[in-house]
Structure 1
Amino acid sequence: MDYVNIIVPFIGGLGMFIYGMQIMAQGLENAAGNRMKSMLEALTRNKFFGVLLGALITAVIQSSSATTVMVVGFVNAGIMSLNQAMGVIMGANIGTTVTGWLVSSVEWAKFLSPGNLAPIAIMLGVVVMLTGTRRSTKDISSIIIGFGLLFVGITTMSASVAPLQDSEGFRNIFITLGHNPFLGIIAGAVVTAVIQSSSASVGILQSLSAAGLVPFNAAVYIIMGQNIGTCVTAIMSSIGAKKTAKTAAVMHLLFNIIGTVLFSIVAIVLFKVVFPTAGTGMITQTEISTVHTIFNIGTTVLLFPVSDLIIKLAKKLEREDDRDQDESRVLLDERMLETPGIALQSVVSEIARMGKIVVRTADRAEQVMFSKDDRQIRKIREEEETVDNLCSGITGYAIQLSSLSLNEKEHQHIASLLQTLSDMERISDYCENISEFAETMTERKAEFSEKGTAELKEMMQVCFDSYRYAVEAFAGNDKEKAMKVIEKESQADELEIQLRSAHMKRLANNQCSTDAGIVYLDALVCLERISDHSRNIAEEILMS
């Protein structure tokens, strides 16, 4: 048998199938990206709604792996809770069955015969692409072309393996997988883990079944293994992420393993005890889609009531402490860029995280000016380095995002976010300056007067409060708190003028040392600029 003429066309067909699936999904994503973002923003604690949402998004992007990677990213960025993530993960397994039904439609809908439909779809898509000028038209052409290529790929794979019907050795491999559930599950898991797509893995199985090579029992075990293999992508994306993100990936793995164990027991009893001959017949593409759908919906129905226990178990298995995490690591996944609307929301969450780190630095600066605690001064410097690293990483990611196909409003939003990012980074710099003033006071053995100390504390309270309100306003897109920032900034401007004037009088009357006086004036400048940058953040929110 000429295996070269079997393997080469099969690999080419698989590549065409995956490419077609991806460009079709990309077109759907571009068309529905903003809607998906809106749905995610509306996501509640209701897990049932999360199941529906996960199924819908996965049906659109044609990959449960991509959906769960997205979920891990959301949990990591704080957009989604573990409770919400559990619902979306369960729904993703249901949504991934759509591709199998598309492929098997050549059996139950004869008018969708690839030989007739695929070339027409590709040609129609190319015509639309060449004649259309609008972005939405280009997206439609991608969907049509991808649909056609998907069918051409599956047809090529099916045709290439047809000669294997006469190969006893190849048929025996699948018979062995059918008799040994463990081997069948492992085979499905390994293939899916390698190509990182359960939809493509199911497509391969369907192309082999079209050639009459796959026994029913082998297909069942392989399908269950495919659901475990699809977890690999999410596990990989959680490496280096926060504890909650890793827990989300473990939840996905546990959900699929538990489902596989339960249905494997049922399948073993069915094929080995109840109907020993039922599993020996060859399975069709439509039957593969049916088994895949029953397995995924059945697993969700069975485990939905105990999903909270799966979350608890995942938390126990993932014991890493978040305190061991590197705060300076940018928690943005480049794979999120495939869905720009959602990637944009991730940037917002990461900037909010950086903003909260600067709040902590501001709290330290407010205390260290008077305590002059060396340990706290070192902490401020460490946090300033963390903020610099985050600022650099987030900026790079946002620039990558802005180079994608976005609308004018999204481009403006990115520009606004970059301005806010810069303002937060500058506030961190000023906090470090304040810690340096404390060191200067220690070195020169200078002290503020009692009146000067009280005035500086009052100024700090106003300016740092303005920044705290700014971060809260940004994180919650709260215009009411943004207005409080404006009020505090105006108060800081007036106070700075009053305190500078009062301090100059003290200096003239020798009521304050020169060294302490210089530091006092420099501190006023820093604090007033902190309130200015806080106002910038608030104005960006009010203009959005």
Structure 2
Amino acid sequence: MLLFMNPTVKEIAAGVAILLFGMIMLEEGFHSFVSGPLQVLLKKSTDKLYKSIGLGFLSTAILQSSSLISVILISFISAGLLELRAGIGIIFGSNIGTTATTWLVSTLGLKIDIAGLAMPMLAFGIVLVLQKPKKLKGIGQILAGLGFFFMGIYFMKNGFDVYKDNINLADFAIPGVLGLLVYTFIGVLITMILQSSSATMALILTALAVGQITYTNSLALSIGANVGTTITAIIGSLGSNTSGKRLAGAHFIFNIVTGLIALVFIGYLGQLVDIISEWVGIAQSNYTFKLSVFHSIFNVLGVIIMIPLINPLINILHRVFKSTDEEDIIEQPQFLDENALAYPQTALLALRNETKRLFEKAAFTIIPHGMNIHRTDLFGEEKIKEVVKKSRKEIEVNIEELYLRKIKTIYSKIIEFTTLAQSRSSVSPELTKQFAQIKLASRNIVEAIKALEEIRKNMNVHLFSENMHIRHEYDLLRQKISKILRELYLLQKSPEPTLHLKNLKKLKSKAEKSDILLDGTLDQLIKESKIPSSVVSSLVNDSHIVALISKKLIEAGELIYISQDTMDLTEVNP
């Protein structure tokens, strides 16, 4: 407790907290662009390893901050915009990109002060966060996240300034292997304190100029500075999901391995630096340029060595950082085997099985949780009215994320597989119709999920409303969907589905005729002042959307379960 009474410690702790908050805002901001143009751009820019490395090099060379690139990457990975392999490639390129900063410092003595942009980023970011359009809000969260990130760095650097002036490298002048290890550790420590490998390099160059350290010691310091840059990424990953932690781990492992290789072969690398320096006309006493050459060599060498080890590295990261909630798993199709494309009938059977799986994943898991109703209650014996009434606790679920991880890929593969099945051989009109039904059922499933996502916010708000009439109306909306889900569940379980089909037809008819705007319910509520005017438009819109969800679910269920019984498989074998 006494430690935290120290103002320096408090400032450093505040910096860490602000930096982590910035990381959370960054991740939230990037979530707004999932499945949009940004994802398409990133996918095209990172679909090959050389593209990922090139992107990392260019972005770091332009922004002059590998730490910034690392934390943005962690946000991308956490938001599902990038795969781990692509992120590792960008990290590789980013490390090479840091050499551009070293050359810039050594030649021009310049460094862009990105931290100076913190306040403008925060100002513009907060203004945009308050806007209603999702994309503008997302841009605002990204800007504010970067602003908080740089402000966190600022506080951390200010806190460590107390120690910076007391660093005298001459105090640690140790010859031999022990000296290399000590100076490497000092390089890590100084970079962690200064939060800038470039600042560490400036300190090294100053020490060299006045003869405080030897050239060999300066090389060890630069290796430590390179390893020290991972500290910011590790801190930033603390607030991220498993995928973000894996990327930070990859960054750490890469820099550690690169640093160890450079240390082991530092004598040979030093000789190589001398040869290259002499070849390009760099004076033997020009330590600034020679350090830049060394920095470039060991970073490029590290990338060359690590490229063949990417797959083992990914396997290690998956074992070390295990996901307990499957947050990083993208669901893949189970039945869409390429062999099934040999005949239209086998392809159709595979598609029906996959579409059924997709439907049950959406209707029996995602949608109930989206309405804050547990599956065990919904599909039990208790009356729907009682189930809905007691389901007052909000279930923490991100429908958009679940859609991206559990639905989107399977849906895309179903559409692609259907197209391939229809194009590979002659297909009868009847089979063409059934392929079309598969596409329609899949689309209905997706549209039902998207529609629920649209009204979930209002549902959650009015679930706890003090106005009993508002609660009642939103409970009725949940009941309508719940009744349909239960009938669909019983339909796929029952050997005799006739009764459930009749019930579904009745529910479908009710859904089509149900309109709170026209049936007098809304008029009565308004006349008797039972609900405020601020809720009227939400209730009208949400009632319409629930009718749409009901219709989509029933139509999808009919196409999947009813059509399956009439499917002709007599021509599976040629």
Give the TM-score range, shorter chain: 0.3 to 0.5
TM-score using structure 2 length: 0.46
TM-score using structure 1 length: 0.48
